[in-house]
Amino acid sequence: MSTDTADLTLEELRLALAPAIAEAAIFDGWSDEALAMAAASIGADEDVARLAFKGGAMEMIEAWIETIDRAMANELPPQKLATMKIRERIRSLVQFRLDAVTGLEEALRRALAIMAMPQNAARSLRTGWHSADVIWRLAGDTATDYNHYTKRAILASIYGATLAVFVDDTSENKVETRAFLERRIDGVMKFEKVKAQWLNPEREHFSLSRFLGRLRYPTR
């Protein structure tokens, strides 16, 4: 184990190894072979590296996603996004994530297949929810009511669908994925606008009783 990695805690080592495991997973999948190759590439002891990922493939994938969450937060903090409109904030954050896995499509494809396994469903949902939460928080969302949950559920669904398009997108500069993402974000923004109109307490709602009252006692 190199001097640099010898001083790392298991949690720190887990995050240090994750990007290298993703690189190796292109050829070896999210396997012990990929873990061994990643450990060798950063000079970490293989046995200690295994201790960092006792949970196997899902722990490797979760660590990889966490490194992307952290990189996104570092590159696009709230103050940097503050000058953008909300749809541009969301688009920029999701696009950062897509750029981060460009070139790693096969590793991503294999990761998505593992995450889709029934035994991993609950963990995959939590991971997707957490990433959506990070995105919304960076975008400046402060909702604490049920909007907090609907926004994250919808974004997690959109991001998952976008990844499914991304892994098979062979168009130049992933233009098909970009167009797909734009359409989905358009849909979310329209939904949020309509929802805000219906939930606006200052809005004059149609009142059936008031309407019937006016029929009976018309204004003069």
pLDDT band at 146 (very low <50, low <70, confident <90, very high): confident
CB within 8 A of 60, min separation 6: which ones? 18, 21, 25, 30, 34, 35, 53
Residue with tokens 């541009």: 88
What domains appear along the chain, each with residue ranges and CATH number? 1-54 (no CATH), 65-220 (1.10.357)
pLDDT band at 143 (very low <50, low <70, confident <90, very high): confident
- Does residue 55 or residue 189 have the better pLDDT? 55
pLDDT digits (tens, 9 = 90+) for 99-121: 999 999 999 999 999 999 999 99
Rounded to the nearest integer, the mean pLDDT of the chain is 89
Q: What is the pLDDT of residue 211?
A: 47
The distance of Cα 115 from the centroid of its chain, to the nearest Å, equals 14
Closest CA to 44 of 62, 19, 71, 70: 19
Q: What is the pTM of this model?
A: 0.84
Q: 69 and 131 in contact (C-beta within 8 Å)? A: yes
Distance between CA atoms of residues 148 and 163, nearest Å = 23
- Mean of the pLDDT values across residues 165-176? 96
